[in-house]
Amino acid sequence: NAGVTQTPKFQVLKTGQSMTLQCAQDMNHNSMYWYRQDPGMGLRLIYYSASEGTTDKGEVPNGYNVSRLNKREFSLRLESAAPSQTSVYFCASRQLSGQTYEQYFGPGTRLTVT
Amino acid sequence: AQSVAQPEDQVNVAEGNPLTVKCTYSVSGNPYLFWYVQYPNRGLQFLLKYITGDNLVKGSYGFEAEFNKSQTSFHLKKPSALVSDSALYFCAAYNTDKLIFGTGTRLQVFP
């Protein structure tokens, strides 16, 4: 079991460029999440997908779009990158059953926008 | 508004001493609470959770947490700290299919 995987690990973009961050999980989880982590601010939710075919905005969705491609994969797209989107991005997943409320995280993507 | 607070940016403790990392919460209804640990350049790892039942919850790596409803707290504890426990620790609360995270506390354990 690889758990939650993310690609790429690192990326440098120029302002205005676009890119897609990929996330996949092999745990057959229903829900998937995208967070950004910035110093002193903890983790902030960008978008989430409670189940295949649904997506919802989180706390900081502006400048991002998502696609829940299938049950395994959930991608995050930056259409026109801005320096304010320099951050570490984490994908997470969660099984919707019983008292399983915890989420499991990928290793992260470190993005720098110049 | 639902929120989680970690009042200390950093906690320093000598190896072998007990450690406490503090967390308070403000959520409606019954709180479901979690602790995660993040080592440098890694994702978050789940440590333990409180859903219901015993107020003292045991988790991975010898950590435990005490739920206190009257003080709305969920402090992380370990009886004897290790240098390898040095990391960033996050407290979180569940709210309608989402987790609300605190800002994190950096734990430094000195030899």
CB–CB of A25/A105 below 8 Å?
A: no
Q: Chain B neighbours among A 20-79 (CB < 8 Å)? A: 31, 33, 40-45, 48, 50, 58
pLDDT over 80 (residue A32): yes
Average pLDDT of the residues in B32-42:
93
Interchain contact B24–A (C-beta under 8 A): no
Chain B nearest CA to A107, separation (Å): 4
SS (H, E, C) chain B: CCEEECCCCEEEEECCCCEEECCEEECCCCCCEEEEEECCCCCEEEEEEECCCCCEEECHHHCEEEEECCCCEEEEEECCCCHHHCEEEEEEEEECCEEEECCCEEEEEEC
| A43 φ, ψ (degrees, to nearest 5) | -105, 135
Interface test with B, best of A36, A102, A104, A110 (most B CBs within 10 A): A102
pLDDT over 90 (residue B9): yes
Q: Which residues pair with B34 in a beta bridge?
A: B49, B92
Report the residue of chain B nearest A6, measured CA to CA: B43
Q: B93: pLDDT confidence band, cut at 50, 70 and 90? A: very high
What is the reported pLDDT for B2? 86
Amino acid at the residue A111:
L
What is the reported pLDDT for A42? 87
Report the residue of chain A nearest B103, measured CA to CA: A42
Strand segments, DSSP code E, in chain A are: 4-7, 10-13, 19-25, 31-38, 42-49, 56-57, 64-68, 74-78, 87-94, 104-105, 109-113
Chain A nearest CA to B102, separation (Å): 6
Measured between beta carbons, which residues in chain A are less than 8 angstroms from residue B95? none
pLDDT over 90 (residue B37): yes
| Rounded to 5°, angle at Cα B23 from B17 and B25 | 165
Interchain contact B98–A (C-beta under 8 A): yes
Chain A nearest CA to B80, separation (Å): 26
Q: What is the pLDDT of residues A62-102, one digit of tens each?
A: 999 999 989 999 999 999 999 999 999 999 999 877 677 88
Determine the Cα–Cα distance for residues B103 and B90; give it in Å rounded to an integer: 7
Number of residues that make up chain A? 114
Number of Cβ within a 10 Å radius of residue A23: 25
pLDDT over 80 (residue B110): yes
Q: What is the pLDDT of residues B41-78, one digit of tens each?
A: 889 999 999 998 889 999 999 999 999 999 999 999 99
pLDDT over 80 (residue B111): yes
